[in-house]
A and B are shown apart, each in its own frame.
Chain A
Amino acid sequence: MAFETGETRIASVSLAVTPAGLPCALNVYLGLSEDAPVSYGQTGFTSSGVSQQVQVSVPMPAAPGTYHVYLDLYVGGELFRQYQALGDVEVAEPYPIEFTGFTVSPFTIKADSGWWGVSYYAVSWHQIRWYASQRVPEGETGSANIRVQFQYKSGSTVIASGSYTTTPQTVQPSGSGYYFPVGSGAVGQPYAGASLSLGSTKPPTGTWTYTMTVTADVGGVVKGMAVFEGTVQVT
């Protein structure tokens, strides 16, 4: 089994303890050796006298490596049995996703007022950092939002999406060519609610289309929009 460092997994342990009705506890340890556990979880249960499922939540160690799985069974508060599971657990750093071939489409400006949004971005395997600016024409002021939307597509099918909207920013007039930032930060969960969880599951290999849309609006009126497109290569 291969898991990611720091994530919590559920060990579903099937075992039979007889007779029924005994107060039991099961500890699940991960370690390089029996006497050097680095992570463990524990749960209590009552013996049923027949095979039963006991679920133990176990955090994965912070350091990558191959760990043995040890189990301590307590019955009536006494250590009754110690086991080593047949299978080890491999713990690795989160699977890297390389964003390659990232190309940006030409801006699409929806309004000709001279307000428009633009984003700079830096991507890592699981988050997108954005930095949006607005250009404000001479003599204009207002309170603006910038909304960033993300979509991952396979063909025309959206497989993951997310969005982030800034709190309103007061924009000031400036001369032509002057830009000022209205927000920067991490959009940590652009995949919320999507079927593809990049946080814990390796996505399918292949090339995925990545789209980011930045919309600047003032008072609910869209002043500008920029669309960025690229590809995500998962190997």
Chain B
Amino acid sequence: MKVFTAGAVKTAIARIDVDPAGLPCTAELWLSRDGVTKHATSGQVNFTSTGAQEDISLSVTMPAGGYLYSVYLDIYIAGGLVGAYQGTDDIAIPTASNPEVVW
């Protein structure tokens, strides 16, 4: 589990291998509490397949605090969804109240 703060911009590196080379591709990384709603997204990031493993940078602004978010990655080729993945690590964006100390 990763812990981030709300509003922080974090860049994920998605290691993607699409064959053959030369295809117009897009990747979108998104965070969701329910697996449906995109509470934060990198938007669709274009890249062209190389036929080999390549690292795609996907930046996401961390959404509201107080929740756990699952991480999803969608891969499109020529506009068609060809891969939908869920990250193994969730993201926690905690909130904490101001503490009161009593001795």
- The answer to whether B97 touches A73, judged by C-beta atoms less than 8 angstroms apart, is no
Residues of B80-98 contacting chain A, CB below 8 A: 92, 94-98
Count chain B residues whose beta carbon lies closer than 8 angstroms to a beta carbon of A: 19
Q: Judge if A225 is at the interface, Cβ distance under 8 Å.
A: no
Q: Which residues of B contact A13 (CB under 8 A)?
A: 99-102
State whether A76 and B97 are in contact (beta carbons under 8 Å apart), knowing that A1-B103, A11-B102, A19-B92 are contacts in the complex: no
**B100 — nearest CB in chain A belongs to which residue?**
A14
Is B95's CB under 8 angstroms from A17's CB? yes
Give B93's nearest chain A residue, CB to CB. Answer: A19
Judge whether A78 is part of the interface by a CB distance below 8 angstroms: yes
Q: Is the CB of B3 within 8 A of A76?
A: yes
User: Does A15 sit within 8 A of B, measured CB to CB?
Assistant: yes
Q: Cβ of B101: which chain A residues have Cβ within 8 Å of it?
A: 11-13, 28, 69, 71, 85-87
Q: B94 to A47, Cβ gap below 8 A?
A: yes
Specify which of B65, B97, B102 is in contact with A51 (CB 8 Å cutoff): B97
CB of B2 within 8 Å of the partner chain: yes
Partner of B94, one of A51, A80, A83, A85: A80
Docked-complex contact B99 and A18, CB < 8 angstroms:
no
Inter-chain residue pair count (beta carbon < 8 A): 76
Q: Is A196 an interface residue (CB 8 A)?
A: no
- CB-CB under 8 A for A19 and B94, given A11-B102, A12-B103: yes
The verdict on B59 contacting chain A, using a C-beta distance below 8 Å, is no
A81–B3 contact, CB under 8 A? Answer: no
Interface residues of B in 18-62 (CB under 8 A from A): none
Q: Is A202 located at the chain interface by the 8 A CB criterion?
A: no
Taking CB atoms, residues of chain A closer than 8 Å to B2 are: 76
Smallest distance from the beta carbon of A153 to chain B beta carbons, Å?
31
Shortest CB-to-CB span from B56 to chain A, Å, is 25
Residues on B with beta carbons closer than 8 Å to the beta carbon of A19: 66-68, 92, 94
Residue B70, interface by CB 8 Å: no
Beyond A18-B94, A19-B94, A76-B92, whether A71 also contacts B99 by CB under 8 A is yes
Q: How far is the CB of A28 from chain B (nearest CB, A)?
A: 7
Q: Which chain A residues in 15-71 approach chain B with CB under 8 Å?
A: 15-19, 21-22, 26, 28, 47, 51, 69, 71
A151 to B95, CA, bound (A): 54
Q: Can you list 8 pairs linking A and B with CB atoms under 8 Å apart?
A: A1-B103, A12-B102, A13-B102, A19-B68, A21-B68, A51-B97, A71-B99, A73-B96
Interface residues of A (CB under 8 A from B): 1, 3, 9-19, 21-22, 26, 28, 47, 51, 69, 71, 73, 75-78, 80-81, 83, 85-87, 89
